[in-house]
């Protein structure tokens, strides 16, 4: 049964016809003077920049206090002249943000730095709480004052509320209250803490740099600092790292795990491994399965760069049709080219992509993309290729139709703005102007991630979410926050 969301979930910000990014988190604990936490965190965030380009922030601890700097923009812009004052600590955490809950403004940049009975702590969050609004109202009714509009501050306030018996028990109590997706890095003056929600909806990994420990949203961040991937943090697990080493606590039993399968389709970098699966190999396998399901007589296979490139390579290898670039990408335009009007958004497609006429003129072309969200970009791309002389344009999508919004950390459109929610495949084909249009089935998509150490959420494709949203909201409404331990 499809969940019809309330108005509070039906937010849509003007942007490209893609699934917007989530957020990226990074943390490091080190006693090795060869590695400065601020520098390592900066490099880690740079590797995670694809997960969010609205804001960036770093907080560090030297054992005496917490220093931080954050702001709007890319890592290179935010820290251009501001990394120096952060140098010299032994713990660092960082965050790159794409806003899913809360407005895009400097106050909402992370990490959040909070005072509590034990001193100060900083926290960075990837994900989205589905009971955030109810929890915020309960806390406000009790006198809590909020400085931001993000659900991260709700979690931070809950941790502070339950901190009487220490940070570990406070985090465990918070996890009993919140519902939804969260991958957290938390820093006190003396400890680095990593937390993953009980269903593992958002990814979080553990790495090691000599005798130092690192955590990150994706393993590609470890490569940026020459750290070694150790393992994925388990759903419901809390990892505490301090001068005595690393300890793991299973705060909540892992529920029916539900990692977001769209990590493999689009979000994650292809050089990352998530829960035991290579992102690149899974995308390549998507293309292979597309070729097996939809053989097409064509002259060349190409991709909408860059996330669809491995799938196009897989299709070409399986079909025997040559691979060639049909579109050139402007590397200086970000993945989230936000403009205030539809006319400017559509013009933005031409700023990001341009047809390579010599490759497509007179050719029957198979074009692979990872998804179609609203359909506007696909229509512009097909039109661009036809103007460049393509005889035929066959569009193949390496995922199923997106028919539902996501409530767990991805800022997707509402039902009525998702072209796959209200149109058949044939109707979408006519809208975008392709000669043919084919999607990978959910069954084939899940086969590309077989062997993972988890199950998957495919709610945006089938409307089946890992959390009963109505039930979670009702439970929160009757919850007494004072009695949680």
Residues annotated catalytic, as ranges: 23
| Cα first-last separation, the chain | 34
Encode pLDDT of 211-224 as tens digits. 999 999 999 999 99
Would you say the pTM of this structure is higher than 0.85? yes
Q: What is the mean pLDDT of residues 274-293?
A: 98
Distances (CA, A) of 249 to 34, 50, 252, 257: 29, 30, 9, 18
Q: Are 155 and 53 in contact (CB under 8 A)?
A: no
> Given 3.60.20.10, 3.40.309.10, 3.40.120.10, 3.40.50.300, which CATH number is that of 24-258+474-478?
3.60.20.10
Encode pLDDT of 355-410 as tens digits. 999 999 999 999 999 999 889 899 999 999 999 999 999 999 999 999 988 888 66
Q: What is the mean pLDDT of residues 301-319?
A: 96
The kind and range of the H/E element at 39 are: helix 37-47
Q: Are 79 and 58 in contact (CB under 8 A)?
A: yes
Q: What pLDDT score was predicted for residue 7? A: 38
For residue 75, say whether it is annotated as part of any ligand binding site: no
Would you kindly state where each structural domain of the chain is located, as residue ranges? 24-258+474-478, 278-330+341-449
Whose tokens are 């296979």? That residue is 301
For residue 151, say whether it is annotated as part of any ligand binding site: no
Query: Do you know the residue count of the chain?
Result: 485
CA 40 to chain centroid = 21
Q: Which residue has the higher pLDDT, 20 or 76?
A: 76
Distances (CA, A) of 120 to 60, 183, 190, 336: 12, 20, 10, 34
Distance (Å, rounded) from C-alpha 411 to C-alpha 205? Answer: 23
Q: What pLDDT score was predicted for residue 343? A: 57
- Whether the pLDDT of residue 446 is over 60: the answer is yes
CATH topology for 278-330+341-449?
Rossmann fold (3.40.50)
Q: What does the mean pLDDT of the chain come to?
A: 89
Structure tokens at 261: 């399968």
- Whether the pLDDT of residue 413 is over 80: the answer is no
Q: Are 163 and 107 in contact (CB under 8 A)?
A: no
**Helix (H/G/I), strand (E/B), else coil: 155:** helix
Q: Are 442 and 428 in contact (CB under 8 A)?
A: no
- Whether the pLDDT of residue 333 is over 80: the answer is no
Encode pLDDT of 160-176 as tens digits. 999 999 999 999 999 99
For residue 248, say whether it is annotated as part of any ligand binding site: no
- Whether the pLDDT of residue 411 is over 70: the answer is no
For residue 457, say whether it is annotated as part of any ligand binding site: yes
For residue 369, say whether it is annotated as part of any ligand binding site: yes
Q: What pLDDT score was predicted for residue 35? A: 95
Q: What pLDDT score was predicted for residue 485? A: 75
Q: What pLDDT score was predicted for residue 39? A: 97
- Whether the pLDDT of residue 470 is over 70: the answer is yes
Assign 14 a pLDDT band (cuts: 50, 70, 90): very low
Residue 238, beta-bridge partner list: 195, 249
Distance (Å, rounded) from C-alpha 458 to C-alpha 281? Answer: 19
For residue 370, say whether it is annotated as part of any ligand binding site: yes
Helix, strand, coil share (%) of the chain residues, nearest 5: 35, 25, 40
Q: What is the mean pLDDT of residues 113-117?
A: 93
């Amino acid at each position: 049964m499809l969940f019809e969301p309330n108005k509070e979930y039906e937010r849509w910000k003007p942007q490209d016809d893609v699934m917007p990014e989530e957020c990226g988190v990074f943390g490091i604990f080190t006693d090795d003077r060869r590695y400065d936490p601020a520098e390592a965190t900066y490099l880690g965030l740079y590797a995670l920049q694809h997960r969010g380009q609205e804001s960036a922030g770093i907080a560090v601890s030297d054992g005496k206090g917490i220093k931080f700097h954050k702001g709007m923009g890319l890592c290179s812009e935010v820290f251009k002249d501001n990394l120096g004052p952060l140098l010299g600590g032994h713990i660092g955490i960082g965050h790159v943000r794409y806003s899913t809950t809360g407005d895009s403004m400097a106050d909402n940049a992370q990490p959040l730095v909070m005072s509590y009975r034990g001193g100060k702590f900083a926290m960075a969050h990837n994900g989205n709480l589905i009971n955030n609004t109810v929890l915020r109202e309960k806390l406000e009714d009790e006198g809590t004052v909020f400085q931001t509009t993000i659900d991260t501050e709700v979690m931070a306030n809950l941790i502070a509320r339950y901190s009487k018996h220490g940070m570990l028990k406070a985090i465990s109590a918070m996890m009993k209250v919140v519902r939804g997706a969260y991958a957290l890095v938390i820093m006190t003056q003396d400890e680095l803490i990593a937390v993953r929600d009980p269903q593992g909806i958002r990814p979080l990994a553990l790495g090691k740099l000599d005798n130092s420990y690192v955590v990150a949203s994706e393993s590609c961040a470890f490569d940026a600092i020459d750290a070694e991937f150790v393992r994925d943090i388990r759903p419901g697990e809390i990892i505490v790292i301090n001068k005595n080493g690393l300890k793991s606590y299973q705060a909540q039993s892992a529920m029916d795990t539900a990692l977001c399968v769209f990590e493999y389709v689009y979000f994650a970098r292809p050089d990352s491994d998530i829960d035991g699966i290579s992102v690149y190999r899974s995308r390549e396998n998507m293309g292979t399965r597309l070729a097996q399901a939809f053989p097409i007589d064509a002259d060349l296979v190409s991709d909408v760069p860059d996330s669809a490139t491995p799938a196009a390579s897989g299709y070409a290898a399986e079909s025997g049709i040559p691979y060639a670039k049909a579109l050139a990408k402007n590397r200086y335009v970000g993945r989230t080219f936000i403009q205030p009007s539809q006319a400017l958004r559509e013009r933005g497609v031409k700023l990001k992509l341009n047809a390579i006429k010599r490759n497509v003129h007179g050719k029957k072309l198979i074009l692979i993309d990872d998804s179609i969200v609203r359909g506007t970009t696909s229509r512009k791309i097909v039109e661009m290729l036809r103007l460049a002389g393509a005889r035929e344009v066959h569009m193949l999508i390496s995922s199923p139709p997106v028919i539902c919004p996501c409530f767990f950390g991805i800022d997707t459109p509402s039902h009525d703005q998702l072209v796959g929610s209200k149109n058949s495949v044939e109707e979408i084909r006519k809208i975008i102007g392709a000669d043919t249009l084919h999607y990978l089935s959910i069954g084939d998509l899940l086969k590309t991630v077989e062997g993972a150490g988890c199950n998957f959420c495919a709610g945006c494709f089938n409307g089946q979410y890992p959390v009963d949203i109505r039930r979670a909201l009702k439970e929160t409404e009757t919850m007494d926050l004072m009695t949680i331990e």
